[in-house]
C-alpha cells in the first residue's frame, strides 16, 4: 500500500516548475520546516522537503532520486557527490555547524560539566551510529578525548541516526545520550530535561554542508533556496536551534 | 572476490539472529497454541477483538510497533514498570527485549495457521474422543494436536522466517549492540548505509537464499499434504 | 434394569421434550423422520448436548439436578453416522485408542470384537483407505472396545449405499444377539428398524409420540407419522418344516403358519417375519383359485386414513398377532370392512428378516 504511493508522490513533486526538491538531514528537520515556510513567503517558491539519513540520501541520489538540493549532516557526502559529478561543482557551502549535546530527559540528571559521564550509575548511553552519523562519530571522539570510552563502551546503545538516539533518551529507555543540540532546543532555549553542551574542542566540528545537485542545475527555485540559506533571516532561524554558522 | 573484513561481526549477527528466531518460535508455539485453540473454538464476544489484536502486526508498520514497544517497555511504560518491579530490569536494548517484541510481531504468522488447522478439524473428532473416554486435555494432545500437524509445520516455518526477516522493530528497540541486538537485517542496513556493498551483498544474498529455501520447503511440504 | 431419560431443550425453531422409560437390555430404536429430534436426544444421552433433565442408566445417575457427567466420564460407546475415525491413526491405532481408555476390562475379549466385525485384515490400514462400510465396522468395534455399558448408534447405515448396508447388517444382527448391554439405535429407515430392534420409540417434532415393543408399536395405525410403503407388521415365528422339493419353509407364529422362501434357516430356529401392508389384500371368503399360497382367517380391528385419499390402512388380528393391510378406500367400502368383521387375508410376500 505504502509502496504504491511513492511513484505517485514523485509524479506530483516534479510537476511544478517553481518547486525545489530538498533532501534534508534528519537533525535539521525542525529548522528546515521553519525555513521552508519563510522561504515560500519571501520568494513565492515552494521547498518540498524530504527528511532522512545522509547516507541513505547519498545512495538514492546516486540511483536517480529527483532531489535538487541536499542539506547534509556532514561535509564529506556533498564533497563526494561533487567529485562524482552528481553535484554542481563549486556550489557547496556550510549552512550550519552542529553542536553536540549530552542530554537527559530528566531535569538535573546531566550537570553543566558533564561529570555524570565519569560518575557512571546509568544503564544506557545513547549515541547515533558512529559509522553512519557525524553526531555519532563526534560523540565517540568526545568520549575518547575525555578518556571515558572504555568505561562506557558496554553501556552504549546506538540509534541508526541521531533522531533515533534522541528517541531512546526521550522515552527514558536510555538515561542520557549524545544528541544534536538542535534537538534539545526550542525557541533558543532548552526544551526539557537537562543538558551539557559538549565543548567544541572535544570533537571535530560537525560542518553540515549544502550542495546543488545535478538535477537542480539551472533551476531558479533551487538556486534561490541556496541563496536564501545564506541570508540573515535564515541564519537567525538556524542559530535559534543551537547551531552555529 | 572482494575482501570481507568484518566477517566475525557478520557471523555474530547470523548466530544472534538464529538464536532469536529459535527462542521466539519456541515461545510462540507455546503461547500461540492455546490462543489459536481458544480462537478456533470460542463463541465469546471477545473472539473478534482478540483475533484483531493478534492480527495487528500484519497491517501495522514495524516502526509503529517498535515505537509503542519502546514506550511500553520503557521506564514509564506499563511493561517497563512491571519488569522493573519483577526485578528483570528494562527490556529495550536486551536480547530478551527483542524476544518479547518478536513474539508479538510474529504472533499472527504462528497463531493463524494453527487456528485454521484447529478450525478445519472441528468438533467432530473431539466428540468422538470424548465418547471414547478421553478427557478434554487428553483429547487435545491425542487427537487435536496430531491432526493439526500441517498447521504447526506452517506456523513454525513462518514464525521462524518472519522473525529472521524482522527489521523495523529491532531497529527501534534494539540499540544495535553486537551479539545482543545486532541481528542480520540491522547489520545489512548498516553495511548499506556505510556503502560497504560487498559485505551487504553476502548477507543480503544469504537472506534471500534462506527465505527462498524456507518458502520452498513450506510449499513442498504443505503441497504434498494437500494431495 | 432400565433407562430413564427425561430431557427438555429449546433452540430457535426446535424443541425437545421427552420422558422415556426404556428397557435396560436389547435394542431400542429412536425412529422418525429427519428433524424429529432423535439424534439430538441421543446426543443428550451421551452428554454431547446439555438439555435440562434427568438420565439414569440401570440405576446409575448420569444427569440430574446439579449432576452432569461430562461425556468422557460416561461409560458409553457412540457410533456416529460419519464414523469419525481418527485420520492420523490406522485401524489398529483407532482400536487401541479406545482400548487404552476403556473404563473396565472388556468382558467379551478384544480379539473377539475384532473378529466379530471382521477387522483382522484391515488393522494396518489408514481410515482414508477404507470403504464407508469398513469405516463403520471399525467405528463400531472401537466403540465396543471401550467396554461401554450403553451403546449408542446414530444412523450408522444412513451414509452407505444399499450394497454396503447389506454388508454391515449381518454384523449388527450378530451384535444384537451377542451384546449384553442396552443399545439405542437412531434410524429413519423402517427396514433397519424392523430387522434389528426390540423396542421402538417413534419421535415427531421433538416429542416421543409412541413407544413399546416393536411388533405392537409397528402394528399401530394411530401413529401420527406415516410410514407409507414401509407400513407393515413384524412378529416372531419358528421354522417348523423345510420342503426340499419346492424350496419353501413353513414357519409357525401365534395365529397360524406361513410358507416362505427357504433361506437355509434350520428347523426350530426363531426368526423375525415382516409383512408389509401393501403386500396384504383382503377377501370376504377363502379363494383357493389364486396364486397366493398364504391365506389366513382374520378379524378387522380398525382402520385409518392414509396420506393419499384413495388409500386406507386396515388393522387385523390373526390369532394373537396383528397385521396391517393397505387397500383402496373403494375396496374397503365394497367389502364393508367394519371393525369385528371376519375376513381372509391374502399375503403376497413374506420376508424373513434375521
B5-21 pLDDT tens trace: 567 788 888 999 999 99
Nearest CA in chain B to C146: B132
DSSP state letter for A87: B
Contact B193 A159 (CB under 8 A): no
DSSP state letter for C91: H
C59 shares its domain with C201: yes
Contact B133 C97 (CB under 8 A): no
d(Cα C94, Cα C144) in Å, to the nearest integer? Answer: 12
With 80 as the cut, is the pLDDT of residue B2 above it?
no
Nearest CA in chain A to B97: A173
Q: Which residues of B touch C146 (CB under 8 A)?
A: 131-133
C316 shares its domain with C285: yes
Q: Tell me, what's the pLDDT at A26? A: 81
Nearest CA in chain B to A155: B177
C211 shares its domain with C264: no
Instruction: Print pLDDT tens along chain C (354 aa).
Output: 789 999 999 999 899 999 999 998 889 999 988 889 999 999 999 999 998 999 999 889 999 999 999 999 999 999 999 999 999 999 999 999 999 998 777 666 788 888 888 898 999 999 999 998 899 999 999 999 998 999 999 998 888 888 888 888 888 888 888 888 899 999 988 888 888 889 999 999 999 988 899 888 888 887 777 777 778 889 889 999 998 898 999 999 998 899 998 888 889 888 889 999 889 999 888 888 888 889 899 999 988 888 788 889 999 999 889 999 999 999 888 988 889 999 999 998 888 886
Q: Which of B73, B93, B195 sits opposite A157 (nearest CB)?
A: B93
| Strand order across the beta sheet in which A69-71 lies | A46-52, A19-25, A69-71, A206-212, A93-98
What number does CATH give the domain B10-40+61-226?
1.10.3720.10
Domains of chain A, with CATH numbers?
2-97+205-240 (3.40.190.10), 100-197 (3.40.190.10)
Domain that holds residue C327: 232-352
Q: Contact, A165 vs A177, CB < 8 A?
A: yes
Sequence length of chain A is: 245
Q: Tell me, what's the pLDDT at A24? A: 92
More confident residue, B177 or A116: A116
Work out the mean pLDDT of chain B and round it to a whole number: 88
pLDDT digits (tens, 9 = 90+) for A210-220: 999 999 998 99
Q: Tell me, what's the pLDDT at C91? A: 96
List CB contacts of B198: < 8 A, sequence separation 6 or more: B2, B3, B4
| Grid cell listed for A69 | 538540493
Q: Which residues of A touch B73 (CB under 8 A)?
A: 173
Q: Which residues of B touch A132 (CB under 8 A)?
A: 190, 193-194
Mean pLDDT of A41-52: 88
Q: Which residues of C touch B143 (CB under 8 A)?
A: 86, 88
C236 shares its domain with C155: no
Q: Tell me, what's the pLDDT at B156? A: 93
Give the position of cell 549552512: A95
The answer to whether B205 contacts chain C (CB < 8 Å) is no
Contact A159 B61 (CB under 8 A): no
C207 shares its domain with C263: no
Contact A174 B176 (CB under 8 A): no
C272 shares its domain with C147: no
With 70 as the cut, is the pLDDT of residue A4 above it?
no
Contact B70 A168 (CB under 8 A): yes
The answer to whether A63 contacts chain B (CB < 8 Å) is no
For chain A, which chains pass the contact test of at least 3 CB pairs under 8 Å? B
C71 shares its domain with C185: yes
Residue C223, in any domain of the structure: no
C198 shares its domain with C296: no
Residue C227, in any domain of the structure: no
Q: Tell me, what's the pLDDT at A12? A: 41
Nearest CA in chain C to B124: C84
With 90 as the cut, is the pLDDT of residue B187 above it?
no
C206 shares its domain with C322: no
Distance from CA of B213 to the nearest CA of C (A): 28
pLDDT digits (tens, 9 = 90+) for A234-243: 999 998 888 8
The ipTM (two decimal places) reads 0.84
Contact B147 C78 (CB under 8 A): no
Element (H, E) at C328: strand C321-328
Mean pLDDT of B36-47: 94
Q: Which of B74, B190, B192 sits opposite A173 (nearest CB)?
A: B74
Q: Tell me, what's the pLDDT at B92? A: 86
DSSP state letter for C265: P
Q: Tell me, what's the pLDDT at A56? A: 80
Q: Tell me, what's the pLDDT at A10? A: 42
Interfacial B residues in 121-140 facing C (CB < 8 Å): 124-125, 127-136, 138-139
Contact B142 C97 (CB under 8 A): yes
d(Cα C283, Cα C278) in Å, to the nearest integer? Answer: 15
Do at least 3 CB pairs under 8 Å connect A with B? Answer: yes
The answer to whether A164 contacts chain B (CB < 8 Å) is yes
Contact B132 C97 (CB under 8 A): yes
Question: C-alpha angle C235/C238/C239, rounded to 5°?
Answer: 130
Domain count, chain C: 2
Contact C142 B143 (CB under 8 A): no
Residue C27, in any domain of the structure: yes
Query: What percent of chain A shows pLDDT beyond 90?
Result: 49
Q: Tell me, what's the pLDDT at A17? A: 47
Out of A15-24, A193-202, B36-45, C136-145, least confident range: A15-24
Q: Tell me, what's the pLDDT at A52? A: 82
| Grid cell listed for B141 | 494432545
Contact C88 B130 (CB under 8 A): no
Q: Tell me, what's the pLDDT at B46? A: 94
Contact C82 B125 (CB under 8 A): no
pLDDT digits (tens, 9 = 90+) for B123-181: 999 999 999 999 999 999 999 999 999 999 999 999 999 999 888 888 888 878 878 88
More confident residue, A56 or C142: C142
CATH number of the domain bearing residue C10: 3.40.50.300
Give the position of cell 427425561: C6
C120: Cα within 13 Å, side-chain hemisphere: 5
Mean pLDDT of A161-190: 86
Nearest CA in chain B to C79: B128
Contact C101 B127 (CB under 8 A): no
d(Cα B21, Cα B160) in Å, to the nearest integer? Answer: 5
With 70 as the cut, is the pLDDT of residue B3 above it?
no
C178 shares its domain with C324: no
Amino acid at each position: 500500500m505504502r509502496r504504491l504511493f511513492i511513484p505517485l508522490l514523485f509524479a506530483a513533486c516534479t510537476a511544478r516548475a517553481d518547486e525545489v526538491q530538498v533532501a534534508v538531514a534528519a537533525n535539521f528537520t525542525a529548522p528546515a520546516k521553519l525555513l521552508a515556510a519563510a522561504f515560500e513567503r519571501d520568494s513565492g517558491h515552494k521547498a518540498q522537503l524530504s527528511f532522512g539519513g545522509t547516507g541513505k540520501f547519498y545512495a538514492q541520489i546516486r540511483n536517480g532520486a529527483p532531489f535538487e538540493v541536499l542539506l547534509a549532516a556532514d561535509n564529506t557526502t556533498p564533497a563526494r557527490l561533487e567529485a562524482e559529478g552528481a553535484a554542481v561543482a563549486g556550489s557547496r557551502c556550510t549552512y550550519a555547524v552542529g553542536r553536540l549535546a549530552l542530554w537527559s530527559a530528566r531535569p538535573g540528571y546531566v550537570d553543566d560539566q558533564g561529570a555524570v559521564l565519569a560518575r557512571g550509575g546509568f544503564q544506557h548511553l545513547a549515541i547515533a551510529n558512529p559509522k553512519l552519523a557525524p553526531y555519532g562519530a563526534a560523540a565517540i571522539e568526545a568520549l575518547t578525548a575525555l578518556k571515558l570510552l572504555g568505561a562506557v563502551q558496554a553501556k552504549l546503545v546506538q540509534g541508526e541516526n541521531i533522531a533515533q538516539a534522541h528517541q531512546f533518551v526521550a522515552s527514558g529507555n536510555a538515561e542520557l545520550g549524545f544528541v544534536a543540540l538542535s534537538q534539545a532546543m526550542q525557541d533558543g532555549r532548552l526544551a526539557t530535561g537537562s543538558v551539557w553542551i559538549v565543548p567544541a574542542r572535544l570533537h571535530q566540528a560537525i560542518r553540515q554542508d549544502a550542495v546543488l545537485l545535478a538535477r537542480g542545475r539551472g533551476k531558479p527555485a533551487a538556486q534561490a533556496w541556496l541563496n536564501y540559506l545564506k541570508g540573515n533571516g535564515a541564519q537567525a532561524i538556524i542559530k535559534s536551534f543551537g547551531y552555529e554558522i | 572476490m572482494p575482501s570481507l573484513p568484518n566477517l566475525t561481526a557478520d557471523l555474530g549477527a547470523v548466530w544472534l539472529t538464529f538464536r532469536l528466531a529459535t527462542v521466539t518460535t519456541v515461545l510462540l508455539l507455546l503461547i500461540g497454541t492455546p490462543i489459536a485453540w481458544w480462537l478456533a473454538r470460542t463463541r465469546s464476544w471477545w473472539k473478534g477483538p482478540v483475533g484483531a489484536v493478534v492480527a495487528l502486526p500484519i497491517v501495522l508498520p514495524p516502526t509503529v510497533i517498535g515505537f509503542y514497544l519502546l514506550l511500553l517497555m520503557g521506564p514509564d511504560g506499563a511493561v517497563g514498570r512491571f519488569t522493573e518491579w519483577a526485578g528483570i530490569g528494562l527490556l529495550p536494548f536486551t536480547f530478551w527485549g527483542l524476544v518479547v517484541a518478536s513474539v508479538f510481531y510474529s504472533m499472527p504468522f504462528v497463531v493463524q495457521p494453527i487456528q485454521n488447522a484447529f478450525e478445519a478439524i472441528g468438533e467432530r473428532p473431539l466428540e468422538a474422543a470424548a465418547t471414547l473416554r478421553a478427557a478434554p486435555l487428553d483429547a487435545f494432545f491425542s487427537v487435536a494436536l496430531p491432526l493439526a500437524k500441517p498447521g504447526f509445520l506452517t506456523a513454525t516455518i513462518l514464525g521462524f522466517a518472519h522473525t529472521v526477516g524482522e527489521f523495523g522493530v529491532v531497529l527501534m528497540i534494539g540499540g544495535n549492540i553486537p551479539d545482543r541486538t545486532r541481528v542480520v537485517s540491522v547489520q545489512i542496513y548498516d553495511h548499506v548505509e556505510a556503502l560497504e556493498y560487498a559485505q551487504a551483498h553476502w548477507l543480503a544474498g544469504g537472506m534471500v537464499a534462506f527465505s527462498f529455501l524456507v518458502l520452498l520447503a513450506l510449499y513442498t511440504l504443505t503441497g504434498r499434504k494437500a494431495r | 434394569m432400565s433407562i430413564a431419560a427425561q430431557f427438555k431443550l429449546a433452540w430457535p425453531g426446535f424443541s425437545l421434550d421427552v420422558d422415556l422409560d426404556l428397557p435396560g437390555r436389547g435394542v431400542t430404536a429412536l425412529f422418525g423422520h429427519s428433524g424429529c429430534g432423535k439424534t439430538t436426544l441421543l446426543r443428550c444421552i451421551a452428554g454431547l448436548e446439555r438439555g435440562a433433565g434427568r438420565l439414569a442408566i440401570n440405576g446409575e445417575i448420569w444427569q440430574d439436578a446439579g449432576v452432569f457427567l461430562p461425556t468422557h466420564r460416561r461409560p458409553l460407546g457412540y457410533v456416529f453416522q460419519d464414523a469419525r475415525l481418527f485420520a492420523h491413526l490406522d485401524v489398529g491405532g483407532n482400536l487401541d485408542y479406545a482400548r487404552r481408555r476403556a473404563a473396565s476390562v472388556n468382558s467379551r475379549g478384544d480379539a473377539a470384537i475384532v473378529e466379530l466385525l471382521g477387522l483382522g485384515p484391515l488393522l494396518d490400514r489408514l481410515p482414508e483407505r477404507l470403504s464407508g462400510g469398513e469405516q463403520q465396522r471399525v467405528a463400531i468395534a472401537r466403540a465396543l472396545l471401550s467396554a461401554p455399558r450403553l451403546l449408542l448408534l446414530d444412523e450408522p447405515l444412513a451414509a452407505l449405499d444399499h450394497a454396503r448396508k447389506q454388508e454391515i447388517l449381518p454384523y449388527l444382527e450378530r451384535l444384537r444377539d451377542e451384546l449384553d448391554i442396552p443399545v439405542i439405535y437412531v434410524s429413519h429407515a423402517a427396514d433397519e428398524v424392523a430387522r434389528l430392534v426390540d423396542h421402538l420409540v417413534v419421535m415427531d417434532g421433538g416429542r416421543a409420540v409412541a413407544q413399546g415393543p416393536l411388533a405392537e408399536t409397528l402394528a399401530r395405525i394411530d401413529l401420527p407419522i406415516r410410514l407409507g410403503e414401509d407400513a407393515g407388521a413384524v412378529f416372531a415365528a419358528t421354522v417348523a418344516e423345510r420342503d426340499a422339493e419346492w424350496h419353501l419353509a413353513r414357519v409357525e407364529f401365534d395365529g397360524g403358519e406361513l410358507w416362505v422362501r427357504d433361506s437355509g434357516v434350520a428347523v426350530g430356529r426363531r426368526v423375525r417375519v415382516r409383512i408389509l401392508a401393501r403386500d396384504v389384500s383382503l377377501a370376504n371368503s377363502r379363494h383357493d383359485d389364486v396364486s397366493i399360497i398364504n391365506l389366513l382367517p382374520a378379524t378387522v380391528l380398525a382402520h385409518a386414513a392414509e396420506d393419499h385419499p384413495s388409500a386406507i390402512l386396515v388393522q387385523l388380528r390373526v390369532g394373537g398377532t396383528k397385521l396391517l393391510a393397505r387397500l383402496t378406500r373403494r375396496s374397503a367400502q365394497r367389502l364393508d370392512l367394519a371393525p369385528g368383521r371376519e375376513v381372509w387375508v391374502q399375503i403376497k410376500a413374506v420376508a424373513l428378516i434375521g
